[in-house]
Amino acid sequence: MSKVKLTWLGHSCFEIRSGKSIIIDPFIDENPAATVSASELEPDIIAVTHGHSDHLGDTVSIAKRTGCTVVCIHEISQYLKSKGIQTIGMNIGGNVKIDDFSFTMTDALHSSSIDESDWSFDGGKAAGFVITCDDISIYHAGDTGVFKDMELISELYHPDVALVPIGGRYTMDARDAAVAVKMLQVKIAIPMHYNTFKQIAQDPIYFRDCVKSLSGAEVLLMDINESINL
Ligand code: NI
Ligand code: MN
């Protein structure tokens, strides 16, 4: 067993801990399903998949307080830099290594904007990440519809674990996400981005059944704030 601990903080927000703490998509204080507060989080690195408020979330306040680095696509990096935040900008297909962690940015079939009350800022392209540390490779799909190049993600990066949205409406639903898991050829699939709001109500048991009929992946249904050792 590796030393990697994965915790679900709700919606698409996960912490990967292996010595240092990586938090992906820290949508916390406005997240009706979250049980922690953004002010309690002490990440070393935040990774943001795209600009929508349920993903960019509390990135600005957490990064300002902790001084952590934010890994994200170039356009969001420019936006965060203008707020005095330390960023590492990248783009689809690129890789950066920070300490013992490797971040590869993958495509996602989705949009991206940074929306404030009276204006909207171009968030560039929506993305996902393959994050590797301690010989464990975790694919966080971000928000996405299913797409055939998930086979390429499997071929290039061999993820062990896939974190996939199943809520439908804004992303793939349970059935499509099961097809994604099959293409990704992962050992473990964990659903996210469901039941946070009524628009993305979904039965994760149905997702588990769909995966079972299509691939040998094990589906782990995590509770919010639950941690697993990978
Ligand atoms: Ni989105
Ligand atoms: Mn979303």
**Which pLDDT value is given to residue 213?**
98
Has this prediction a pTM greater than 0.85?
yes
Distance separating alpha carbons of residues 27 and 152, to the nearest angstrom: 29
Distance between Cα 19 and ligand 2 center (Å): 28
| Nearest ligand for residue 168 CA | 2
Distance between Cα 225 and ligand 2 center (Å): 19
Between helix 150-157 and helix 174-184 the angle, nearest 10°, is 30
Distances (CA, A) of 109 to 25, 28, 69: 17, 24, 26
Distance separating alpha carbons of residues 29 and 20, to the nearest angstrom: 23
**Which pLDDT value is given to residue 2?**
77
Mean pLDDT for each consecutive 10-residue tract of the chain (230 residues)?
Answer: 92 97 98 97 98 98 98 98 98 97 98 93 97 97 98 98 98 98 98 98 98 98 98
Distance between Cα 40 and ligand 2 center (Å): 23
**Which pLDDT value is given to residue 101?**
97
Distance between Cα 56 and ligand 2 center (Å): 10
Distance between Cα 132 and ligand 1 center (Å): 23
Distance between Cα 128 and ligand 2 center (Å): 12
Distance between Cα 149 and ligand 1 center (Å): 19
| Nearest ligand for residue 111 CA | 1
Distance between Cα 170 and ligand 1 center (Å): 7
Distance separating alpha carbons of residues 19 and 119, to the nearest angstrom: 39
**Which pLDDT value is given to residue 1?**
64
| Nearest ligand for residue 166 CA | 2
Amino acid at 51: G
Distance between Cα 12 and ligand 2 center (Å): 7
**Which pLDDT value is given to residue 171?**
98
| Nearest ligand for residue 196 CA | 2
Could you give the residue ranges of the DSSP H alpha helices within the chain? Answer: 53-56, 59-66, 74-81, 150-157, 174-184, 204-214
Distance between Cα 1 and ligand 1 center (Å): 33
**Which pLDDT value is given to residue 117?**
87
